[in-house]
Structure 1
Amino acid sequence: MDIEGFTRNKIANGSNQKVLEEILAKRIMEYKDISYESASAMAQSVTEEVNNTLKINEGNDEFLKDIIDIPKADIAMGEMGVGSRGAGDFFVHRKIAEIVASAKADSLINPTAQDDGGVVKARSNTEDIYITTAVDGIHSRLSEYPFLGGFHVARASLRDVCVMGADPVAIISDLHLADDGDVGKLFDFTAGVAAVSELIDVPIVAGSTLRVGGDMVLGDRLVSAVGSIGVSQYPPTARKRAESGDVILLTEGSGGGTITTTAIYNGFFDVVWETMDINFIKASNALIKDDLVKDIHAMTDVTNGGLRGDAHEISTTTGLGLKFYHEKIKEMVSPKVLNMLETLDIDPLGVSIDSLMLIAPKDVAKKIINSIESVGVKIAEIGTVDDTGIPRMIKSNGEEEILEPLFREAAYTKIKKLVGDTTPEDFDIMKEKVQKAAINSIAKKDKVVKYIKDN
């Protein structure tokens, strides 16, 4: 429970302070084994601190007021589908990318490309070195399963480095556990990350550990992120390098955090073991070892919004068309995972199956297949790239379906099915509000930068 947010909301709505402190004290006692007197003192401290922050608006420092005033979109995260890997989420990420780009700090690949990782170029003696970085957050529903959360978020971060054609060299970890969380959760999460580190011989080199919201958030929610750093002597295999005439290859996917969550919350516990592998990284390392990265035009992991989302983003970024064959894609989903998804009526093309998708010239495809199969990972050709500008799928009956991301990724838990994935009727209005908030954020950034430079 976010007691600061709760208090701020109640004060803004004119709640009686004494009544508010009574409610807060009772809420605090639900989480902490303390006396009513202690809980009441904490509640009074919270309301006093929040009231103090509101005094900023009573002062004469207009610039400070401007800085602390959030450029609100009046659209909530859940309403917009942020984090749900669909059309709403992709739109917000493009706005974040615009804010990043407004800083005008040079990079080779940044969030505007909507790619898996970012890349900067450096010089080492006479050679160009490409440094790739990526960061991923733990799946929110794995807070109660820290080892699995750590294992899968580490894999996800490393995948994002690998698909840019880089060799992973370091892992970093950031942990936030709420005030009432057991310290053992920190160790369990770290052990999950360390398991991946040991399996692929890439060291964990740094990290941070804090409480979620400090004293202001009660409960035991774990939120965290793992970052990875990789290096390469070749330019990144970014999506924008795809060319018409290329073939599309896909490795077998058995899922990661999303499939693990689906398995646990729907009772398919044996499927959890399907996800516990490092096949993706083995496949990527094989390509580096066989010096094939330079010949590959683009690589991506089938994660955000599933293949539907990836196909749409690649097509949008490149202006090219992609043609997929449904039956060939299904053959590249682990049989146990596919059975679970079909049993639960979950679209395999709309969820993260954690396959490696490669786009390369036809004359290189056989070498890529041989390289990846040599390390025991299944791979097959599933489609082609053309100049139609449309991502589409050929079904088993020969019908053609345009691949578009849903408003949210395919619902893989009961609560997600209740929330639904249909696009809101006022989605265009929502986008306009979000766009305005992003523009206002850039304006604030510019104002602060100018102030600091001038002073």
Structure 2
Amino acid sequence: MDIEGFVRQALKKDDEKSVEMQLQDKILEYKNITPQQANKMALAVIEEVKHTLKIEKHDDGFLKELIEYPKADVAMGQIGVGSRGEGDFFVHRKIADIVSSTHTNAFITPEAQDDGGVVKKSVNSNDIYVTTAVDGIHSRLSEYPFLGGFHVARAALRDVCVMGADPVAVISDLHLADDGDVGKLFDFTAGICAVSELVNVPLVAGSTLRVGGDMVLGDRLVSAVGAIGISEYPPTARKRAEVGDVILLTEGSGGGTITTTAIYHGLFDVVRETMDISFIKASEAIFNAGLLPEVHAMTDVTNGGLRGDAHEISNTTGLGLTFFNDKIREMINPKVLEMLENLGIDPLGVSVDSLMIIAPKDVAEKVKKAVGDAGVAISEIGYVDDTGKAKLVKNNDVEELKPLFREAAYTKIKMVVGDTTPDDFELMKEKVEKAALDAIKKKDNVVKAIKGK
């Protein structure tokens, strides 16, 4: 529970004494302390929050601008941030706009909406491409730190691999709330290190803090893992796809999303299916066979499932992609596919963690052999065309592949929230757009002020 956030909201509608008593009771729900100690905490938080509210009346305009943030009046959940659908993609594009406004140089920027970012450096007259990626722990795996660490480490390494880079290091950022057991730190780190050991990529640095410091009660784990890779060749970014290319897919057994689905539906046997490194083995096979320079693009089927990835690739390249439904189904782990279908979850709308490769026909044949020889199932599932749309061929019918407002609902709570587009989505986008532009303006003002000191 965010007690600072509670006080900020409560002071707007209740008197201070009432807020004090409410907060004291809430603190006692989490802390094994006396009512007197809880009351001291409550009074301290209220006093601190009251001090911060004075900034609204401060006569230093620059300081006020630094402290306040541009409000969109659109909540994260309302527009579906983190839910890997249309709303989430829109917000990520606005984040990319802020990054682009810096005019700093990168070979692949967030604007490309690719799996990782890439910078190009010249070392002794040789070009080196450095790829970085970061992924956050699945929010529903807070109670299962090892699984959270394992799958987020895999995700970060995948994002580096699909950009055609050889992963060389992993870093972690670990935040555990005030009442969390320290053992969660160790279990999460062990999960990362299991992947690290399996793929021989060291965990080299990290940070460990509390979620919200003293202001957040409970034991929620919120963490991320980053990966760094290098390559002598240009990245296998989405924008390199060409008309006539073949689309390949490796078998996917899922990661954090499928693990969460299995756990929260009581289908624990499926969790075991997700514990593999076949994705990284497939990437290594392509790398070791020297095929990366010939592969046009690679991506992992994660954000919003194949629906989301296909839509984003089509948007980025302006090209069309045609997929065959029966071929895709063959590349989803049978137990995972059975679970999704029994639960009524669209297999194309969730992350199944397959590796998707786009390459010319002759190169695709070489890729299939290299990956197959590494013991990973792989199949041709479609092709690139010039229609400008992502399409699915299913039972002789053709439908356009579009991401839903949110990814396919894979837990009970997500099913309650739903995945339909809100009636005011366009209005929300306008508000978000303005907030992003305001953030750019604020950044420009601060940079200008610092340079002028």
Q: TM-score, normalised on structure 2?
A: 0.99
Matched, 1:164 2:163: yes
C-alpha offsets along residues 363-411 of structure 1, whole Å, 9 cap, x if unaligned? 111100000001100000000000110100000x200010000000000
Structure 2 residue aligned with 1:10: 10
Structure 2 residue aligned with 1:410: 408
Matched, 1:63 2:71: no
- 1:118 and 1:402 map into 2 onto residues whose CA distance is 29
Structure 1 residue aligned with 2:435: 437
Structure 2 residue aligned with 1:288: 287
- 1:342-421 alignment, distance < 5 Å: 342-395=341-394, 397-421=395-419
2:5 partner letter:
G
Matched, 1:147 2:173: no
Show structure 1 runs of 5+ residues with no match: none
Structure 1 residue aligned with 2:324: 325
C-alpha offsets along residues 51-86 of structure 1, whole Å, 9 cap, x if unaligned? 011112222101111221211110100000000000
- 1:69-148 alignment, distance < 5 Å: 69-148=68-147
- 2:125 and 2:443 map into 1 onto residues whose CA distance is 37
C-alpha offsets along residues 191-214 of structure 1, whole Å, 9 cap, x if unaligned? 000000000000000000000000
- 1:39-58 alignment, distance < 5 Å: 39-58=38-57
SS of the residue corresponding to residue 114 of structure 2 reads coil
- 1:331 and 1:248 map into 2 onto residues whose CA distance is 14
Query: What is the aligned counterpart of 2:421 among 416, 420, 423?
Result: 423
- 1:365 and 1:186 map into 2 onto residues whose CA distance is 42
C-alpha offsets along residues 286-340 of structure 1, whole Å, 9 cap, x if unaligned? 1111100000000000000000000000000000000000000000000000000
Q: TM-score, normalised on structure 1?
A: 0.99
- 1:326 and 1:407 map into 2 onto residues whose CA distance is 21
- 1:65 and 1:304 map into 2 onto residues whose CA distance is 37
Farther-moved stretch of structure 1 (171-180 vs 56-65): 56-65
Structure 2 residue aligned with 1:185: 184
- 1:77 and 1:24 map into 2 onto residues whose CA distance is 25
Structure 2 residue aligned with 1:249: 248
SS of the residue corresponding to residue 224 of structure 1 reads strand
Farther-moved stretch of structure 1 (92-101 vs 54-63): 54-63
SS of the residue corresponding to residue 122 of structure 1 reads strand
Query: Which of structure 1's runs of 4+ aligned residues deviate more than 6 A?
Result: none
Farther-moved stretch of structure 1 (155-164 vs 64-73): 64-73
**Corresponding residue pairs, total:** 453
SS of the residue corresponding to residue 133 of structure 1 reads strand
SS of the residue corresponding to residue 267 of structure 1 reads coil
- 2:68 and 2:136 map into 1 onto residues whose CA distance is 27
Structure 2 residue aligned with 1:451: 449
- 1:230 and 1:107 map into 2 onto residues whose CA distance is 15
Query: How big is the shift at 1:14?
Result: 3.8
SS of the residue corresponding to residue 131 of structure 1 reads strand
Query: How big is the shift at 1:426?
Result: 1.1
C-alpha offsets along residues 197-249 of structure 1, whole Å, 9 cap, x if unaligned? 00000000000000000000000000000000000000000000000000000
Show structure 2 runs of 5+ residues with no match: none
Structure 2 residue aligned with 1:212: 211
- 1:257 and 1:50 map into 2 onto residues whose CA distance is 37
2:156 partner letter:
S
SS of the residue corresponding to residue 205 of structure 2 reads strand
Structure 1 residue aligned with 2:258: 259
SS of the residue corresponding to residue 388 of structure 2 reads coil
- 1:90 and 1:288 map into 2 onto residues whose CA distance is 30
- 1:440 and 1:44 map into 2 onto residues whose CA distance is 35
Query: How big is the shift at 1:284?
Result: 0.4
Query: How big is the shift at 1:10?
Result: 1.3
SS of the residue corresponding to residue 170 of structure 2 reads strand
C-alpha offsets along residues 144-190 of structure 1, whole Å, 9 cap, x if unaligned? 00000000000000000000000000000000000000000000000
Structure 1 residue aligned with 2:195: 196
- 1:261 and 1:16 map into 2 onto residues whose CA distance is 42
1:23 partner letter:
Q
- 2:427 and 2:26 map into 1 onto residues whose CA distance is 37
SS of the residue corresponding to residue 160 of structure 1 reads helix
1:150 partner letter:
G
Q: Alpha carbon RMSD of aligned pairs, Å?
A: 0.6
